Amino acid sequence: MKSRHVKYCVVSVCLASAVVIVCLSGLDRIYPLNLKTKTCSTLITAKDGTPLRAFADKNGVWRYPTDLTDVSPLYLQALLTYEDRWFYSHPGVNPFAFIRACFQNIAAGKIVSGGSTLTMQVARLLHPNQRTLAGKILQMLRAFQLEIHLTKDQIMTLYLNLAPFGSNIEGVQTACFSWLGKQAMELSCAEAALLAVLPQAPSFYRPDRHPERARKARDKVLDRMAFFKVWTNEQVRAAKKEPVAALRFVPPMTAPLASRRLYFGTDNPSSKKTTTLDYDLQIQTEDIVRDYVAGLSDEQSAAALVVNYKTLEVQAYVGSADFFSTKRKGHVDMVRAIRSPGSTLKPFLYGLAMDEGLIHSHSLLLDTPRFQKEYEPGNFSKGFSGPVTVARALRLSLNVPAVQVLEAYGPQKFYDRLINAGARIKLSGKPNLSIILGGAGTNLESLVTLYTGLARDGITGKPKLLKQDADQDADQERYLMSPGAAWIISKILAQPMPGFEGINRLSGHIPMAWKTGTSYGFRDAWALGIMGDYVAGVWVGRPDGSPCPGQYGAVTAIPLLRRIFESLPLTDFIKKPPSSVQPIKICWPLGSAKTRTITNCFVQHDAWILDNQIPLTLNSATRGFDPLLKTFWIDENGNRAQPSCGGIKKIRIGVWPQGAEPWLPPSWRRNKLIAPPSQKCPDLASFPGNPVQITSVFNNSILTRPPGQATPPSIPITALGGQGKYYWFLNKKLVAVINPGSAGVLPMPLPGTYQLSVADEAGSFDVIDFEVISMD
């Protein structure tokens, strides 16, 4: 008899199980389980998980994606103890809890308990139904479905993401940031208890509106935790003393443009994106930029990008000064906007030219007017400096020397190298000489990418904004220049600039290598810098491209860059020169090494060279310069004669480039260094044609300025010889352009000493000095 009962029970259980399986199989076909009825918001977070910006789902619900590992164990303990102690044991429905709820409802004469497990609550959240018996049965069947298809941890994760917490807030992580201002992993016992009970009646217990109700509900959970000895009495007593404090929900809005970039730049917008941004540094940089532009016009904005060049992680990304400002056009991301780079590309030209063997750190360049050339730029200062070193030309950001070097290196090759190094460069046509002075388009991100190459021994790296890119070590490294060239350029940029000596060091000892740029018409002000472990860049201007007269890189952008560097956790270190870099003494004008026997050494410099190679002064005729080392035959009287003449000897003389003549002492000029032609056997082949010569004023003349005249007297300016037009300079500043055969006049300047020079279109110069005195 007993065995018959056992057999009957076994058969009954099997039949019941078969019925349940058949029902669930039919339910899967008729009412398939849809886990995608609700999508998460897109959450953009800082590297530490702090929300930067969130994008609500299509229904306007804020639901941050959450995993079990994101949640404090205290919350899970409170949730399971209060809602479903047997969650990890039952098959989705707890029959004992359901029967208990039935008796409680009968006793109360109304529904006071639903007996729902967490699985059943997830089923209701995924597939809402009416609070009827039929609805409860369907909910139970859905719970069985969930248990068949998912693990317990997966079901718990669904609850953590879908549980309602008041207003349009769903999910425990969203609730933590919205009501408590912290991550779900950082909850206290009191906060965990509050969040465990809040989904039961989120509007009724909403802590910002009904703090007393929320406190009573929380304490009920705490009592339960003590009753089941999950938490100690001491923990519960301490938790009850905590006040219920809630923040007003405000969606996060930090790094709004970086977040927008990631949101629209992904194929899966409903997901969590963890950036490399340092939350504290991001907030700090945003405040610095916002405060800085407050002193500018209402239409101006600014952008900043800070990258740790060792890891290539973006630490701060400020696309505009004020995202919500319509006047400043804060919605425009100026980190990515294409603008004219001004002079910010010059360091890379000089570095590449060093690798090409064209120049070294102190090669002689000419900051002089360019006549009859493809491109005739001036300097920002409107004046010229004459002969300058590469280091000085770069440090002062002189335009003409940069064009001289680019002409020798090649605009197309320069453009190709920048593109290959990872920069984005836009041109309206083929690359030409104007590219070095801002005649192209690029953006702040590309400039920072290029400057990482100076900090990383000539290898650029694309800045990483997503943490997953940093974790995967997706460096995307590109070769820019040799380590030696990068070191020399960085060293030059770290040298003090006249008038801006205090910029190069912060905290008294940490050096900063920096470069500024200003686009045509004062439309863009740039500053890029390398300091400690960071490369940072800033842009200041009007997003619509309107001019900002009087505002340029060294005045407008550098102060902002300095403030940002002052806020960074900087470490000082001295980078030693690579083995390919050697110090050497060189001589001008030829550019050769200083030795005991060398002649023609008018000026010497301490230079840095690469691979023991000493590039001579750019003087090849193929580049538009006459040879600087000249060979002559001298007769017995010391005059220049033809090689066929008798009684002569051969000599070699180093001369300066013709364009440097007005800036040289008289004894260094060609008319003093080169002997006059012989009367009997003149050497005219070496100097075809007659050089330009000033005829209206003699050298060392003294001119008198009469007193009391409303209009100053004029000085006639005439010249003979040379080729083409005459370009007249007073104290090295262009004052007139006159055709051959025509005479010009120059208003007599105030009393003082002056230099008057003239150049023809072939580069021939003549220079005289004169003095103006007053008759008073």
pLDDT for 291 beyond 90: yes
- 316/465 Cα distance (integer angstroms): 9
What pLDDT does residue 516 have? Answer: 95
What pLDDT does residue 205 have? Answer: 94
- 755/730 Cα distance (integer angstroms): 6
Smallest Cα–Cα separation from 669: which of 474, 386, 437, 469? 386
Q: What is the mean pLDDT of residues 595-600?
A: 80
The set of residues, in sequence order, having a beta carbon less than 8 Å from that of 350 and lying 6+ positions away, is 359, 390, 393, 394, 402, 405, 489, 492
- 284/258 Cα distance (integer angstroms): 15
Condensed to tens digits (0 to 9), the pLDDT of residues 119-135 reads 999 999 998 877 777 77
Instruction: Write the DSSP assignment of 725-739 as a string of letters.
Output: -EEEEETTEEEEEE-
What pLDDT does residue 468 have? Answer: 82
pLDDT for 167 beyond 50: yes
Q: What is the mean pLDDT of residues 667-678?
A: 82
Please confirm, yes or no, whether 592 is among the known catalytic residues: no
If one compares 3 and 218, the residue with the highest pLDDT of the two is 218
Condensed to tens digits (0 to 9), the pLDDT of residues 9-63 reads 344 334 444 455 555 555 666 767 777 767 788 889 999 989 999 998 888 899 9
Per cent of the chain over pLDDT 70 is 86
368 confidence band (pLDDT: 50, 70, 90): confident
What pLDDT does residue 132 have? Answer: 74
2 confidence band (pLDDT: 50, 70, 90): very low
CB atoms within 10 A of CB 253: 13
Smallest Cα–Cα separation from 765: which of 642, 659, 680? 659
**CA quadruple 18, 20, 22, 28: dihedral positive or negative?**
negative
* 581-615 burial: b if 16+ Cβ within 10 Å, else e: bbebebbbbbbbbeeeeeebbbeebebbbbeeebb
Condensed to tens digits (0 to 9), the pLDDT of residues 548-570 reads 988 888 899 999 999 999 999 87
What pLDDT does residue 624 have? Answer: 43
Please confirm, yes or no, whether 83 is among the known catalytic residues: yes
Q: What is the mean pLDDT of residues 138-156?
A: 93
Kindly state the DSSP code that residue 632 receives in the 8-state scheme: E
What pLDDT does residue 410 have? Answer: 96
Q: How far is CA 667 from CA 597, 657, 697, 768, in A?
A: 21, 15, 20, 13
Kindly state the DSSP code that residue 464 receives in the 8-state scheme: B
What pLDDT does residue 499 have? Answer: 63
- 167/61 Cα distance (integer angstroms): 9
693-774 folds as Immunoglobulin-like (2.60.40)
693-774 matches 35-241 in CATH topology: no
Dihedral angle of Cα 212, 216, 221, 226, to the nearest 10 degrees: 120
What pLDDT does residue 16 have? Answer: 42
Q: Which of 83, 170, 191, 313 is catalytic?
A: 83
If one compares 723 and 697, the residue with the highest pLDDT of the two is 697
* 240-249 burial: b if 16+ Cβ within 10 Å, else e: beeebebeeb
Three-state SS at 38: coil
- 528/526 Cα distance (integer angstroms): 7
* Domain at 35-241: CATH architecture: Orthogonal Bundle (1.10)
623 confidence band (pLDDT: 50, 70, 90): very low
Domain ranges of the chain: 1-30, 35-241, 626-686, 693-774
Q: Which of 343, 519, 678, 757 is catalytic?
A: 343
CB 515 within 8 A of CB 497: no
Condensed to tens digits (0 to 9), the pLDDT of residues 336-350 reads 999 999 999 999 999
157 confidence band (pLDDT: 50, 70, 90): very high
- 645/633 Cα distance (integer angstroms): 9
CB 104 within 8 A of CB 113: yes
CB atoms within 10 A of CB 547: 14
What pLDDT does residue 612 have? Answer: 95
Condensed to tens digits (0 to 9), the pLDDT of residues 444-470 reads 999 999 999 999 999 999 999 998 876
Q: Which residue has the tokens 């849809």?
A: 34
5 confidence band (pLDDT: 50, 70, 90): very low
